Chains A and B, each alone.
Chain A
Amino acid sequence: MIVRVNGVEIGAWNGETVASVLLRAPGAGRGSTVSRTPRLPYCQMGVCFECLVTVDGNASMQGCLVPVAPGMRIESQHGPREISK
């Protein structure tokens, strides 16, 4: 299936999660909350929150707990979520 990461199409497998796609997509890491340094998923099992990402417009989703779906829009999140999202 095809998903979009920061507007760029990338192939994804049935059964994988958003967090695993983030590891393959170039420049898909998030910016940390305090210093905005790049981060990528660390634990893949719901405890580290390094995979926080905006999925289909919903911010601060734990990417490792969201299975990919065709056409999904994944966007890197820089810093904390905005109130409106």
Chain B
Amino acid sequence: MKYDVVVIGAGPAGMSAAIRLRKNGSSVAVIDEQPAPGGQIWRGVERNSGPVAEALGTDYRKGDALVQAFRACGADYMPETQVWQIEEGWNLFLTSGGNARRIGARVVLLANGAQERPVPFPGWTLPGVMTVGAAQILLKSGGMLPQGDVWIAGAGPLPLLYATQLLGLKGRIAGFLDTSRKPGLAALTKLTGAWRDIPGLLKGARWLRDLRKSGKMVRGFHDLRAGGDGRLQYLEWQSAGERRKVKADILLVHEGVVPRIHETMALGCAHEWNELQNYFTPQLDGWGESSKAGLFVAGDAGGIGGWLAATLSGEIAGLGIAKHLDASFDAEGERHKAGLDKRLASARVLRPFLDALYPPPTASIADEVIVCRCEEVTAAQIRSVAKVSAPDPNAVKAATRCGMGPCQGRQCGYSVQALVAEAHGIPPRDVSFFNIRPPLKPVTLGEIAALGDLEDVL
């Protein structure tokens, strides 16, 4: 089966692009890991109603209209499907329900979003510790609330939003460990643009106020440790020269989000380093096309911008792809007519402020901390290899198996990069990422062997 366009990801960007391309009559397939469309932001939006939908807020409920339009747009939607290899030209290898297959495309659009930035600390592998994003997903996909002594540790809009949602559903928080730094001059200089988005700023202020009212807010601490016998039982931190220890059943952590780059890295696309947020983004032109002709990226996968910017960049990529497929298509005219650039600039107006307000953590990782969760490699092991090898994460990988487990470096990639940079006394931007190789997701030999039309591919 060959499509004009294969879109990976059915979140805000992927759905918007698919709808746009279907209007132009292109044949479109949309592949997504989740059982229902909406991405992480609008997870379960078709099913949630009543108090849960109410607590999730107006931005969440806005997803319903886009999901409905997507369902009706006529794209071949493939839920619960993973892409494990993309070949230029373009061939995509998929697996769903234990069966692998191949589809072809003239153009590929990556709209696979972001993941939370993994920040290793002592005890982060204990059962009971998970991310704020994970807790919010549990809320969206079953109305599940954390029980017992629930602590949140982190910084950024998501922990504030989740805490507000949780409290709105009569959930309880034992305390909030705020890891953000005092807003410095760097953030304030970005306000010139941000002040235009008064509702956005007020929303943030309201979340913070609700949170302060409801529970314990801990600031100005360091050396957070999670401990317990077989599962999380307590938290410890250092504050004002004192060691504090509290009982904890659940710890939710969050230190911002980073784009998913495994696909563009595996394909050898050119990438740029985001100096404010310490992550790589694929280099894209004004339509979202990467350094590989026919490979487009939209939404958070091309740089964190949030759901509204993602829908708009999805539409822009849709127009760019339509032009790629048919040179006579007036993409510029459509782009101008829909006011996409103006709307995108307005959707992104708070971002420079947020990026400066919540810089990524730079604290050095303690030696005993497991950095690679899959292969259980500690910071000390990584440091000892990094010191005696070239400043290259792949040297660490070869010597320690760090990044070779099932997550393929999705959890440890940036930490290894930072540790290598630290060992060599150079900035992280001068250290490359792991070499990413197929399969992008674990696949069994049985699935590969069962590929029906292998000759056709070769």
Chain A 52-73 against B: per-residue CB contact (8 Å), 1 yes, 0 no? Answer: 1000001010001111000000
Of the four ranges (under 10, 10 to 19, 20 to 34, 35 or more), the interface on chain B belongs to: 35 or more
A48 within 8 A of B: yes
Q: Which residue of A lies closest to B143 (CB)?
A: A13
A6 within 8 A of B: no
Are A33 and B134 interface neighbours, CB within 8 A?
A: no
Chain A nearest Cβ from B382, distance in angstroms = 15
Q: Quick one: given A13-B142, A39-B125, are A49 and B137 in contact (CB under 8 Å)?
A: no
A46 to B40, CA, bound (A): 11
Main secondary structure of the interface of B (DSSP, over half): loop
A66 to B260, CA, bound (A): 21
Are A42 and B128 interface neighbours, CB within 8 A?
A: no
Are B33 and A15 interface neighbours, CB within 8 A?
A: no
A38 to B442, CA, bound (A): 22
Are B137 and A44 interface neighbours, CB within 8 A?
A: yes
Are A47 and B137 interface neighbours, CB within 8 A?
A: no
A45 to B325, CA, bound (A): 33
Selected interface stretch from B162-170, B299-307, B315-323, B404-412: B404-412
Are B130 and A65 interface neighbours, CB within 8 A?
A: no
B220 within 8 A of A: no
Chain B 370-400 against A: per-residue CB contact (8 Å), 1 yes, 0 no? Answer: 0001111000000000000000000000000
Q: Quick one: given A33-B374, A60-B406, are A45 and B137 in contact (CB under 8 Å)?
A: yes
A66 to B407, CA, bound (A): 17
Most buried by B among A17, A39, A48, A64: A48
Are A43 and B116 interface neighbours, CB within 8 A?
A: yes
Are A67 and B127 interface neighbours, CB within 8 A?
A: no
Are B376 and A20 interface neighbours, CB within 8 A?
A: no
Mind listing 23 A-B residue pairs with CB under 8 Å?
Answer: A13-B142, A15-B47, A16-B144, A17-B141, A20-B141, A35-B376, A39-B125, A40-B128, A40-B231, A41-B134, A42-B373, A44-B130, A44-B133, A44-B134, A44-B138, A47-B260, A47-B407, A48-B118, A52-B406, A60-B406, A65-B80, A65-B82, A67-B80
